[in-house]
Every structure is written in C-alpha cells, then in structure tokens.
Chain A
Amino acid sequence: MDNGTDAAEGRQSEYALVLDGVRKSYGNREAVHGISLAVRKGEVFGLIGHNGAGKTTTLRMISTILRITSGSIQVCGYDVATEPDKVREIISYLPEDAGAYKDLTGRAYLDFISKFYTSGEAQKEMCGRGMEIADLGERIDSKVDTYSKGMMRRLLIARAVMPSPKLAIMDEVTSGLDVINAYEIRELIRDIANSGVTVVMSSHNMFEVDMLCDRVAMMDHGNIILMGTPEELKQKYNAENLEEVFVKAVKNNERSH
C-alpha cells in the first residue's frame, strides 16, 4: 500500500498525465480498449491514428467531458473521475473544429473566458496575454463571425493557453488550415511548449507530429499499437518518416489479429 502511494507521488512529480488501462464503451460498442500511457511534464505528446481510432474519445475523457468506463486517468496527480473540478482548473481543451460565440468580438470572447479564471488586474492581464497570443491586430475588435478559419484557430489557441494551464489538450488543431496558417499555428504550439506547458495533441498529419512532438502514440481501433519518440519509431521500422511507420505498424497490427 505504502509502495503504491510512493509510486503515485513519484508519478505526480514527473508526469503531467497518466492513463492506466482506460476503456470507453458507447452502449455495446467499445471505442477504447484499455490504453495506458504517461506524458512527462513539459512534453509535447502526439496521438496519431486514422479516423475513428479513438483519439478524440481519449482526449475527451482526459478533458472530463466523457466518463471513463474503466481504468483511470490522472492529470498532475488529480483523478479525472473523482476530482474533475481540480482537473478542470489545470487543463485547457481545444476541441476539433471548435468555434466561439459568434456575436462576440475576439476581445470580448477572451474577456468572457478569462473571467472564469481570475478577476481584477489579473484578469485584465490574462486577457492581454490572450490577445498577444492571438495576434489578430485590429481584427481583435471584429466579431468572431467575420474571422477566417486561421484567425478563429489563433483566437481559440489563445483562449486555451492564456490561463497558463498545466496541460493543454488540442484535437486536430491544424485540420483544414492552409499551409501558412498551419505553419503559424505549429509555431504557436512550439512557443507554448517552450513556456513549460505540457501539450497533448491529436493529428492525422504525420509530418506535423514528427516536427512538433517529443513522443507519439499510435492508435488503431481503440488500441495503442506503438509509442516512442519519432526517431525511435522511424529506426524501429526502418522508415524515412512517420507516415511510413504508421502504415507498417497498422499492417502489422492487422496481421497479428
């Protein structure tokens, strides 16, 4: 018993996120089949996999909005199932294809969100930080409705990062963006990671994951079939890029089933 507590404390100090045998069922269908992983503090961790592999479900469970069927998830030592309120204080979640309240301006949106975290001068400061990250210039005072996809994504990332979360969870953050916008968003995520925030992101884009992530986990049909640094994985499969690794790993997985 004592050893277990020690282990938990040890994890607390080193890991921002620990998943242990996490399963998720929708009715009779199991979408995630008991996955385990640990993300170190300050790491950028990528979840890759095809559509329906269970990435979004996993991210939603970490973000406290889907209940875990069995297993456990800990964020900085807090249990997602039993201490969701504590977890919500230290995470930021950016859903795929998310939008903002259309009638608000970018500034008003950041102002609205920051008021949930702090008040007074600190709130103004947080809002200012958000605007700095969004970097929308004069358009920060335009209605969100008029924003392009790239501008919207910048605003939402700013919203997610301005409260200085310990763990930022981003689902397909560059999907649907053009080359320039996607590049800028990646730069933004790199900055966020450099500032010490742990980032867990999902993506289809292997090139992006290769560039951004310290470590990646590959998901297929609700299982993690591979985990390691991009370099390790490429070496293991004798591949030039992660895409190749992914294809080989999926085929191996199919063969072994």
Chain B
Amino acid sequence: MSDLTNIVRKELKELLTPGSVISVVFMMVLFAMLGGLIGGEVEKAKVLPAISIVDGGNGEVTLPDGGTWSLEKSVESIYLPSIPEGASISDFIIELTSKKTAGGSIDYADLQSQMKAAGTACAMIVPQNFAESISGKTQAGLEQFYIYEPTGMFGTAPSSVAATIAASLNSMLSRALLTEEFGPEDYSFYINPIDTGSIGTMVNGNYVKDVTPGAIANQVSSQTMLVPMVIMIIIMMVGSIVISSMGSEKENKTLETLLTMPIRRTTIVTGKIIAAALVGLIYGLAYMFGMSFYMNALTSEITSGVSLESIGLGLGLQDYAFLMVSMFLSIICALGLCMILGAFAKNNKSAQTMTLPISILAMIPMFIIMFSGWYGSSALVQALLFVIPFSHPMIAVEALMYNDYMLVISGIGYMAVFAAAAILVTVRLYNSDILVTGLGQNGFVQKLTGRK
C-alpha cells in the first residue's frame, strides 16, 4: 500500500503543476461566466417581449349574442399573468397606428421606425375589415410583423411568442363566437376565425413576406456557427502543432543549433509561422467543407428553407475574401502567441500544457458568438471579443451578412498589428537567454519563486 501511495503522490506532484491548476481554475471561472451569460439570455427569453398592436381599434368585434370581443383586451389577458411585479401592462403592449403608402398598403418602413421608437420587435397588424369579416363569418386576417435583429441563440424567442399569441387569440375568439348556434357549413370559420398565416419581417430595411425572424435566425446561425467552431478547432490544432514543434526543437536542441547558424531570427520565426498558418488554412478549408455538409444535413430539415441571399443576408465573393483574410490573420495571431508560449516550454511535455491558454482564448469567443452573437452582446463583452484576436473571423461572418464592413476591416487591422507585435516579441525572446535556459534562470522568476 505504501508503494502505491508513494507512486500516486509522485504522479500527482507531476500532474498538478501550478500551470495546470491555474488553467483548470480559469476554465471553471470561464464556464461559470458563460453560465451566467446563457442564464441571462434564457431569463430575457422567458419574460414575454413587448409587442405592438397596430390599429387595435379594428379589433372590436360585436358578437352574435350582442356582447363584444376586443382583440386588445384579449392580448392584455394573455400578458397579465406574466407581468413582473411593479411593471405596467402598457410597458408590454404598445398601441400604434399604421400609415398607408400611396398604393393604399401599409407603410412598413414607417411602422418599423414607430416600433423602434416604442422598443418593440414584433407587432400584430389588425386589418381594417377585421370586425366586418368576423361578422360576415369569414376568416379575418391578423398579420404578424417583425423586425429582424441579429441576436444569439436565444434571441429569437419574440417570433415564437408572437405566433403563440396569435394562436391564442384565434382560440379565444373562437370560444367567444361558439356561443352561437351554427350549421356544419360554418364549422371551419368557428374554430378558426382568425387567419394567422400572414407574416412579414423587416430585414435590413426590406420587407420580406412569409418569413419569421426565427427562421432567419436559424438559417443565419447555421452559417455563423460553423466558422467559430472551425476557427476554434484550427487554432487549437495549429497551436498545439507549433508549440509541440517548439518543445521537440528544444528537446533535440535543434533550435539551439539553428540559432548559432547564419540565419536571421525573424526568418526562423516567420518561417515557422507561415508554414503552420498554411497548414492551418488547409485544415480550415477542409473542415469548413466537411462541416458545411454536416451542418446542411443537420439543419435543412429544421429550417424553413429561407434563402439568405434572397433577403439580402447572403455572402458574396468579396465577403468570402474578407473572411479568408480574417481567418488567415487570426491563425497567424494564434501562432504568434504559440511561439511566445513555446519559447518558455522546456520540453515536449511542458509544451503540451502551454496550449491551454490558447484553447481557452479560442473557446471564449466561440461560446459568446454562438450564444449571443456580436450584435446581441453588451459593450463590455464586445470589447472583450474585440481584444481576443481569434474572435474576428467569427464576428466577420455575422458582420459581413449585415454589411458591417467597418467592423470587419477594423478587426483585420487589429489582427495585423497583433500579429506583428507577437512576431516582434518572439524575435526578442529568441534573442534572449530564455529560449535556451527557460524561465527558471530568469532573475524576475527567481525573485518570484524564491528559488535559485
């Protein structure tokens, strides 16, 4: 038993290095933070979002028994149970009046600006002939109108809520009407007095019919999820390639040899980075190709087949070029960081733990982009995302869809500066003793650890 304890103790001592403990604690904090972020999103999704009722006055129906049924009141009755304490119903149901275009149809652009001012993203438009149709025992239309806002995974809740409310209204009105005697020919009207099939969404200022924000979001996320995942995988993979290559170069002293030959330090560093970045890009393209098949198979059944191209959210050739540049630069940044970390690795084994910070840095933006997206994130989270160079290609997909070229280009600029700085720091490290002696011989570290 004592032999076993002896071995276990020695193994634990080897495995639980300060580096590994710190990274585990960091992971814990990271996931706790992500939990908070997701929790917040879910919490936001749980409370019914505010809704606008457009031309609600048209929804006053005189029932056959002489009573009245009010659409607005009915919506209120749906909202009342879920209104938080201290809040007023008027914060959740905002009445608006539509304007007509010259052609007599609803001016959706004006409606969008009214809704933006009121702070709602979904509306129900009650047509002028609503009451009239019901009295005439024909289905009345009730149009759902949305403003598509880019958000994360849980940001699409409003579209399902509005649809649910429309369905509830349908059954409420049906119940109200069912007090009347009716013949078999009227059956379909009485159980479905409201036609909830009319849906429209404003996307980037264009009115798109028959599409819900949920369907768009599904399609968008099936596209935008792919890149963050691929980027994370490539960065982790290429990072570990470079770091372990540094580790084995140190172990075999091939780097030490190379540094005594007539080769410029910048050439050695840049050569290593370029080769690994090309490998990373090839991996990346292969993964994207493979995974896009996988994602298509996974999502084609679920999504309503919204074509992003047709609603102005598609990516053009130029967008793909931006994306490639962004991806390549982020790989270079990752490699630059890996070279810096690799310079501190003593051997192959210690090099492996050095990949952890890189993996964590790649995971943070991936999770944030997947859960709340760039546009759905708070300013603080956006600042955090911007600072991490690996975020930029992940952000770029979304930004390019919304033609936010400023964001993409500033990201590319930031990454270029970051990569250059990382290469310069690496070259400096290559010129210092640390590469050969490791951190243990560094005066600062000696002071820190009290060891000589």
* A and B bind: yes
- Residues of chain A having any CB pair with chain B under 8 Å: 25-29, 60, 63-67, 85, 88-89, 91-102, 113, 116-117, 159
Q: Nearest chain A CB to B426's CB is how many angstroms away?
A: 16
Q: Nearest chain B CB to A143's CB is how many angstroms away?
A: 14
Q: Does B209 contact A (CB under 8 A)?
A: no
B256: chain A residues at CB < 8 Å are: 65, 93, 95, 98
**What CA separation (Å) do A67 and B442 show in the bound complex?**
13
Q: Nearest chain A CB to B83's CB is how many angstroms away?
A: 66
B262:A27 contact, CB within 8 angstroms: no
**What CA separation (Å) do A99 and B249 show in the bound complex?**
9
Instruction: Kindly name the residue among B248, B257, B432, B441 whose own CB sees the greatest number of chain A CB atoms within 10 A.
Output: B257
Among residues of B, the one whose C-beta sits closest to the C-beta of A69 is B433
B257:A67 contact, CB within 8 angstroms: no
Among residues of B, the one whose C-beta sits closest to the C-beta of A66 is B433
**What CA separation (Å) do A88 and B265 show in the bound complex?**
12
B259:A97 contact, CB within 8 angstroms: no
Q: Nearest chain B CB to A178's CB is how many angstroms away?
A: 21
Among residues of A, the one whose C-beta sits closest to the C-beta of B440 is A26
Tell which of A27, A28, A65 touches B436, judged by Cβ atoms closer than 8 Å.
Answer: A65
User: What interface size band does chain B fall in?
Assistant: 20 to 34
Among residues of A, the one whose C-beta sits closest to the C-beta of B251 is A99
**What CA separation (Å) do A113 and B262 show in the bound complex?**
11
26 A-B pairs whose Cβ atoms sit less than 8 Å apart in the complex: A26-B433, A27-B442, A27-B446, A28-B447, A29-B446, A65-B256, A65-B435, A66-B433, A66-B436, A66-B437, A85-B264, A88-B261, A91-B260, A92-B260, A95-B253, A96-B253, A97-B253, A98-B252, A98-B254, A98-B257, A99-B251, A101-B254, A102-B248, A113-B261, A117-B261, A159-B257
Q: Nearest chain A CB to B327's CB is how many angstroms away?
A: 27
Q: Nearest chain B CB to A142's CB is how many angstroms away?
A: 17
B261:A95 contact, CB within 8 angstroms: no
Given contacts A27-B452, A28-B446, A91-B260, contact A67 B433 (CB under 8 A): yes
**What CA separation (Å) do A207 and B223 show in the bound complex?**
71
Apart from A60-B436, A65-B256, A99-B252: 5 A-B pairs, beta carbons within 8 A: A26-B442, A29-B446, A85-B264, A102-B248, A102-B252
Given contacts A27-B442, A28-B452, contact A116 B262 (CB under 8 A): yes
B447:A116 contact, CB within 8 angstroms: no
Q: Does B445 contact A (CB under 8 A)?
A: yes
B297: chain A residues at CB < 8 Å are: none
**What CA separation (Å) do A102 and B251 show in the bound complex?**
12
Q: Which 9 A-B pairs have the closest CB atoms?
A: A27-B443, A99-B252, A26-B441, A27-B446, A93-B260, A98-B253, A95-B253, A63-B260, A88-B262
Q: Does B263 contact A (CB under 8 A)?
A: yes
**What CA separation (Å) do A63 and B443 show in the bound complex?**
22
List the count of A-B residue pairs having beta carbons below 8 Å apart. Answer: 76
B263:A64 contact, CB within 8 angstroms: no
**What CA separation (Å) do A63 and B248 show in the bound complex?**
21
Q: Nearest chain B CB to A130's CB is how many angstroms away?
A: 14
Tell which of A25, A27, A102 touches B447, judged by Cβ atoms closer than 8 Å.
Answer: A27
**What CA separation (Å) do A202 and B314 show in the bound complex?**
67
B252:A26 contact, CB within 8 angstroms: no
A27:B445 contact, CB within 8 angstroms: yes
Q: Nearest chain A CB to B260's CB is how many angstroms away?
A: 4
**What CA separation (Å) do A98 and B255 show in the bound complex?**
10
Q: Nearest chain A CB to B252's CB is how many angstroms away?
A: 3
A117:B433 contact, CB within 8 angstroms: no
**What CA separation (Å) do A172 and B382 show in the bound complex?**
55
Among residues of B, the one whose C-beta sits closest to the C-beta of A152 is B252
B260: chain A residues at CB < 8 Å are: 63-65, 88, 91-93
A60: chain B residues at CB < 8 Å are: 436
B257:A95 contact, CB within 8 angstroms: yes
B445: chain A residues at CB < 8 Å are: 27
Among residues of B, the one whose C-beta sits closest to the C-beta of A64 is B260
**What CA separation (Å) do A133 and B446 show in the bound complex?**
44
Tell which of B254, B259, B263 touches A65, judged by Cβ atoms closer than 8 Å.
Answer: B259
Interface string of B250-278 (1 = CB under 8 A from A): 01111011011111100000000000000
A117: chain B residues at CB < 8 Å are: 261-262
A27: chain B residues at CB < 8 Å are: 441-447, 452
B432: chain A residues at CB < 8 Å are: 67
**What CA separation (Å) do A67 and B248 show in the bound complex?**
23
B433: chain A residues at CB < 8 Å are: 26, 65-67
Among residues of A, the one whose C-beta sits closest to the C-beta of B267 is A116
**What CA separation (Å) do A117 and B261 show in the bound complex?**
9
Tell which of A28, A29, A66, A100 touches B254, judged by Cβ atoms closer than 8 Å.
Answer: A100
Q: Nearest chain B CB to A73's CB is how many angstroms away?
A: 13
B444: chain A residues at CB < 8 Å are: 27
Tell which of B252, B441, B442, B446 touches A100, judged by Cβ atoms closer than 8 Å.
Answer: B252
Instruction: Kindly name the residue among B248, B261, B444, B446 whose own CB sees the greatest number of chain A CB atoms within 10 A.
Output: B261
**What CA separation (Å) do A170 and B121 show in the bound complex?**
75
Among residues of B, the one whose C-beta sits closest to the C-beta of A56 is B436
B253: chain A residues at CB < 8 Å are: 95-99
Instruction: Kindly name the residue among A25, A27, A28, A98 whose own CB sees the greatest number of chain B CB atoms within 10 A.
Output: A27
**What CA separation (Å) do A26 and B437 show in the bound complex?**
9
Among residues of A, the one whose C-beta sits closest to the C-beta of B261 is A116
A88: chain B residues at CB < 8 Å are: 260-263
A99: chain B residues at CB < 8 Å are: 251-254
**What CA separation (Å) do A159 and B445 show in the bound complex?**
36
Among residues of B, the one whose C-beta sits closest to the C-beta of A60 is B436
Among residues of A, the one whose C-beta sits closest to the C-beta of B446 is A27
Q: Nearest chain B CB to A47's CB is how many angstroms away?
A: 17
Given contacts A66-B433, A97-B253, A98-B253, contact A116 B443 (CB under 8 A): no
A65: chain B residues at CB < 8 Å are: 256, 259-260, 433, 435-436
Q: Nearest chain A CB to B452's CB is how many angstroms away?
A: 5
Q: Nearest chain A CB to B158's CB is how many angstroms away?
A: 56
Among residues of B, the one whose C-beta sits closest to the C-beta of A98 is B253
Instruction: Kindly name the residue among B259, B260, B445 whose own CB sees the greatest number of chain A CB atoms within 10 A.
Output: B260
**What CA separation (Å) do A98 and B257 show in the bound complex?**
8
Instruction: Kindly name the residue among B248, B259, B435, B442 whose own CB sees the greatest number of chain A CB atoms within 10 A.
Output: B259
A66: chain B residues at CB < 8 Å are: 433, 436-437
Instruction: Kindly name the residue among A65, A99, A101 whose own CB sees the greatest number of chain B CB atoms within 10 A.
Output: A65
A28:B262 contact, CB within 8 angstroms: no
Q: Nearest chain B CB to A222's CB is how many angstroms away?
A: 14
Q: Nearest chain A CB to B265's CB is how many angstroms away?
A: 10
Given contacts A27-B446, A60-B436, contact A85 B262 (CB under 8 A): yes
